[in-house]
Amino acid sequence: MNARTCGAGAPARVTSEAKPDRGKADTILAAITRSFAVLIAVLQEIFDESAYKRFLERSQLESSPKAYAVFRNENDQAKSQRPRCC
């Protein structure tokens, strides 16, 4: 083990050669955060969570099993009236 020493025989202070650029790290973190926010929004649309929230706001209802049943009936009727391809 070859330790570096200063002129007085004391161990030399080791400094890191490159410090990460904080601005670049913040930019990367912001991009990752936005990506996860988009992913969550997409999953909420796929699983009808966003549609249910919009239904509750439109109907001015609180979330409950009865409100969800009304939402499902309304949603199923709307889907059945759409024309199907093939």
pLDDT in tens, 40-78: 999 999 999 999 999 999 999 999 999 999 999 999 998
Residue at 15 is within a domain? no
Is 26 domain-assigned? yes
- Please state the rounded mean pLDDT for residues 16-41: 87
pLDDT at residue 2 tops 60? no
- How far apart, in whole angstroms, are the C-alpha atoms of residue 40 and residue 56? 20
pLDDT greater at residue 62 or residue 10: 62
Q: Which residues constitute the domain of residue 64?
A: 22-81
Over 90: is that where the pLDDT of 31 sits?
yes
Distance of CA 19 to the CA centre of its chain: 28
To the question of pTM greater than 0.75 for the whole model, the response is no
Number of domains in the chain: 1
5 within domain boundaries: no
